[in-house]
Structure 1
């Protein structure tokens, strides 16, 4: 099953620490609420200033900068399209490297969920193979064509119960592939 998640349908909500807002793309399990009873959540946020990250005990996080130069997190630079993984318990202070950024991240309960995040480029056609779980293709640049769906930058496709998927890239496309499965 393939579900198109358009950017216009993302749910805007405050950060847990109240310092900004995020656009929730998807959450699990179905019917879960954040931050009360979720197992995982994928979201995108604009970071406009130097602020601490919210803490999420029992969770791990993966983060990629999708727009802007990057962030310095506890003295370590995270540049655009690099993936960083860190613990939800870790005290993280973010400093903008050069102006505001937009990030894409997944927060997941480490004892229940396994998650992967990769940034990939697509110039023509590619076949992706999946094993169990849910998979999300977030279009960063260009456009993607997936089973008759045209996916624009900022939109996402959720894939469930498919083992193979053909993906076509238009206009030098790049995307983030996020895979979520229960342990």
Structure 2
């Protein structure tokens, strides 16, 4: 399966503060265990809370964001490693300098990872593995072979 971000209609965020394009939800019906999306953040505001969810977050485009957690702030810019945090945290989000586009992996009841990849990198050894092509904005699920371009490996134990 190949999912092109441009072909996915935007949906409002759970808290109404922006839009997201859901690329993958597993299972497709009912409560999900895995959700991968690309979000547009246009204004400052809090993230939605997702209790019981581990969340991976990485900035794809824009100047970046500053996320505020109880233990301090984390600044994330394009090219930074993905950040993993408890989805219940619902950090505050402040844009560094204008809108951003971000990739979000949320896992509920699964272990998983979002790993940066460079073109030609061999795939890590995870039971389920997808690849998000950052330049083409396409999800390849499942992924086979080395990374086709710069992007991110999505690994889960499902």
Normalising TM by the smaller chain, what interval? Answer: 0.7 to 0.9
Tell me if the contact between 1:65 and 1:103 (Cα under 8 Å) persists in the aligned partners: yes
Pick the structure with more strand per residue. 1
Deviation above 4 Å: which 4+ runs of structure 1? Answer: none
Whether the 8 Å contact between 1:11 and 1:25 is mirrored in structure 2 is no
1:42 aligns with 2:18: no
Unaligned runs of 5+ in 1: 142-152
Pairing 1:66-81 to 2, within 5 Å after superposition: 66-74=60-68, 75-81=73-79
Q: Deviations over 1:46-68 (max 9, x none)?
A: 10110100001111100000001
Q: Are 2:95 and 1:119 aligned?
A: no
SS in 1 for 2:130: strand
1:66 partner SS: strand
Q: TM-score, normalised by structure 2?
A: 0.88
Q: Which of 25, 31, 52 is the matching residue for 1:58? A: 52
Structure 2: 5+ residue stretches without partners:
none
Query: C-alpha root-mean-square deviation of aligned residues, in Å?
Result: 1.8
The alignment's TM-score, normalised by the length of structure 1, stands at 0.76
1:22 counterpart = 2:20: yes
Structure 2 distance, partners of 1:16, 1:168, is 32
Q: Write the distance in 1 (CA, Å) between the matches of 2:90 and 2:140.
A: 32
Larger radius of gyration: 1
SS at structure 1 position matched to 2:6: helix
Q: Deviations over 1:128-175 (max 9, x none)?
A: 254422x2211112xxxxxxxxxxx11110017xxxx32364xxx311
1:157 matched to 2:133? The reply is: no
Secondary structure of the 2:123 match is strand
Shift of 1:107: 1.2
Does the residue aligned with 2:155 lie in a helix, a strand or coil?
Answer: strand
Would you say how many aligned residue pairs link Structure 1 and Structure 2?
Answer: 153
Corresponding position: 1:166 with 2:145: yes
1:176 aligns with 2:152: yes
